[in-house]
Chain A
Amino acid sequence: MIYDVTVIGAGAIGTSVAYHLCKKGFSVALIDRGDIASGSSSHCDAVALISDKAPGLDTKMGDASIRHYRELAESFSYDFEYDRKGCLYVCETEEELAAASSYAKRQAADGYDMKIVDAKTMREMEPYLADDLLGGIWTPGDIAVCPYKVCFAFVEEGKKLGLKVYPYTHISRIRLSANRMVEAVETDAGDILTKRVINCAGVWAPDVGKLVGLDIPIQPRKGMNLISEQTKRIVWHKVMEFGYMMSKFESINFRRNVSSLVEEYNVAFNIEYTKADNILLGGYRGFRGFDVRSELEAMQAIAERGIRFYPCLKGINCIRSYAGVRPYVKDHLPVVSAVDEVPGFYIAAGHEGDGICLSPITGKLMAQLVAGETTDFDIRRLRFSRFTEAQRTA
């Protein structure tokens, strides 16, 4: 048999793309060299937010994805722990509060449900929060999901629609025809004949790209978290410091009054509870290649920053740390695109710190692209050709 589409990579992006293609009636193979969700999508946090997005397309995709998550939670029989917990950004200084206010105003003007809350309201919402904070941004529609269960859910629901899954399958070559059209994916489980290939390999997308001679500019950007023991409730929403924006977007020029360790590791406080009553405390962003070992000083800095905002953490036990890598693209936009040079080859990768959030909408948009339909909204900025165009004009 010849598949309509072969998806490479069974993370949050690939499983969603595969599921949405099945929904459109395509025959689909999903390949991963490991287990489902063995990459970044099981080494991350669990939130889907609009409140950490840049205004414009970034927020628009986040919002569409969060809405889509809700529909999926209602229609799937596999429970991926959809939880509308809302997100609270907290500000330490007047300067941060002013920046937060203008950000929230801009988003509200675009029609998103986001507003400034004062210190008193904030403490009612989060009684264990440090009492010297000035206020924050409240986004009630932001959600959490269990990221690896999202992958399992897409796979299980996809299987009902005929999805074929090839886990622990290694690709040796992507075979192209004489006119450079995708023809087959050669693996240790045999040749998988296919009309199209979609590269959803996250931080490893450049390796898969090389198989057809492409240079895909995605880099691993490390993150790390601490996990607490199961504990009584001390946090009711996703809570982050406004400085988080700064750690994500290098362009934001903002100095915080923090220790040198926190500065060095680019640590920005964020916290959330899990369904099992553990607390996840983060986080940091750094470039360390593919090294995902836990760094002790980073752990120290994350704990220090966490206690600044939730002093009661001092007495709660940390049971584990973990680290993962985000598929980072310099312009902070993913690639969701066909590749002109190789007919039948597509890319859906490079979602950096938003791959869980953007998983449903990416799957939906990619299925529309493959079907030759008009996409829900204009995604020309996500085209792969933007990199070659940039090179040409440079």
Chain B
Amino acid sequence: MSSKGIPDDMLVCRCEEITADEIRQAIREGARDVTGVKRRVRAGMGLCQGRICEKFVQQILCQELHMGLVQTGRSTARPPVRPVPFGELARGCGNDL
């Protein structure tokens, strides 16, 4: 899918309710990669940690800045891989995170 196909009013990041238009605005404000977008408009900061929206954000970046997918970067991989209660984490059940 090309990012032209992503309409401005589409919710790209559902966790944080960020539209494609807001992501394009972040790019106009200087964001050049996934992390730059995230810091400006919170896309990817919600419960799913960008697992769903990252690809769309990358596509919009490619389109707007005429860059390749690799240059759009990825958000830093950080544990836990999926949400885990602090109680389990404290008990050391985090070893397979």
Interface residues of A (CB under 8 A from B): 35-38, 42, 148, 152, 167-168, 226, 228-230, 276, 281, 294, 296, 299-300, 303-304, 306-307, 313-322
User: Which residues on B sit within 8 Å (CB–CB) of A229?
Assistant: 47, 83
Whether A314 lies near B40 (C-beta < 8 A) is: no
The CA-CA distance from A294 to B76 in the complex, in Å, is 11
Whether A318 lies near B31 (C-beta < 8 A) is: no
Q: Tell me whether B53 is interfacial, beta carbon within 8 Å.
A: no
Whether B90 lies near A304 (C-beta < 8 A) is: yes
CB-based nearest B residue for A301: B90
The CA-CA distance from A35 to B83 in the complex, in Å, is 29
Looking at chain A's contact residues, the main secondary structure is: mixed
Whether A319 touches B49, Cβ cut-off 8 Å, given contacts A42-B39, A296-B95, is: yes
CB-based nearest A residue for B92: A300
Whether A296 touches B90, Cβ cut-off 8 Å, given contacts A317-B83, A320-B49, is: no
CB neighbors of A among B54-78 (8 A): 76, 78
Can you list 25 A-B pairs with a CB-CB distance of less than 8 A? A35-B31, A35-B33, A35-B35, A35-B36, A38-B35, A42-B39, A168-B32, A228-B86, A229-B83, A230-B47, A294-B79, A296-B79, A296-B97, A299-B97, A300-B92, A300-B94, A304-B90, A313-B87, A314-B85, A314-B86, A314-B90, A316-B85, A318-B86, A319-B47, A319-B49
Question: Which 10 interchain pairs have the tightest Cβ spacing?
Answer: A314-B87, A317-B83, A303-B90, A303-B89, A304-B90, A313-B86, A303-B86, A35-B36, A319-B83, A148-B39
Q: Tell me whether B14 is interfacial, beta carbon within 8 Å.
A: no
Whether A306 touches B86, Cβ cut-off 8 Å, given contacts A296-B94, A319-B80, is: yes
Interface residues of B (CB under 8 A from A): 16, 29-33, 35-36, 39-40, 42, 45-47, 49, 76, 78-80, 83-87, 89-90, 92, 94-95, 97
Q: A313-B87, A314-B85 are in contact. List 12 more A-B contacts (CB 8 A).
A: A35-B39, A36-B30, A38-B35, A296-B94, A303-B86, A303-B87, A303-B90, A307-B86, A315-B87, A318-B86, A318-B89, A319-B47
Residue from B29, B42, B86 in contact with A276 in the complex, judged by beta carbons closer than 8 Å? B42
The CA-CA distance from A281 to B40 in the complex, in Å, is 22
User: Which residues on A sit within 8 Å (CB–CB) of B84?
Assistant: 317-318
Q: Which of B79, B86, B92 has the most CB of A within 10 A?
A: B86
How near does chain A come to B61, taking the closest CB pair, in angstroms?
A: 13
User: Which residues on B sit within 8 Å (CB–CB) of A306?
Assistant: 86, 90
Whether A307 lies near B83 (C-beta < 8 A) is: no
Whether A299 touches B35, Cβ cut-off 8 Å, given contacts A316-B86, A321-B79, is: no
User: Which residues on A sit within 8 Å (CB–CB) of B79?
Assistant: 294, 296, 299, 321
User: Which residues on B sit within 8 Å (CB–CB) of A300?
Assistant: 89-90, 92, 94
CB-based nearest A residue for B97: A296
The CA-CA distance from A318 to B79 in the complex, in Å, is 9
How near does chain A come to B47, taking the closest CB pair, in angstroms?
A: 6
The CA-CA distance from A152 to B95 in the complex, in Å, is 37
Whether A35 lies near B32 (C-beta < 8 A) is: yes
CB-based nearest B residue for A152: B40
Whether A307 lies near B39 (C-beta < 8 A) is: no
Whether B45 lies near A299 (C-beta < 8 A) is: no
How near does chain B come to A225, taking the closest CB pair, in angstroms?
A: 11
CB-based nearest A residue for B96: A296
The CA-CA distance from A326 to B84 in the complex, in Å, is 28
The CA-CA distance from A98 to B35 in the complex, in Å, is 45
The CA-CA distance from A306 to B40 in the complex, in Å, is 29
Whether A317 touches B35, Cβ cut-off 8 Å, given contacts A230-B47, A276-B42, A303-B90, is: no
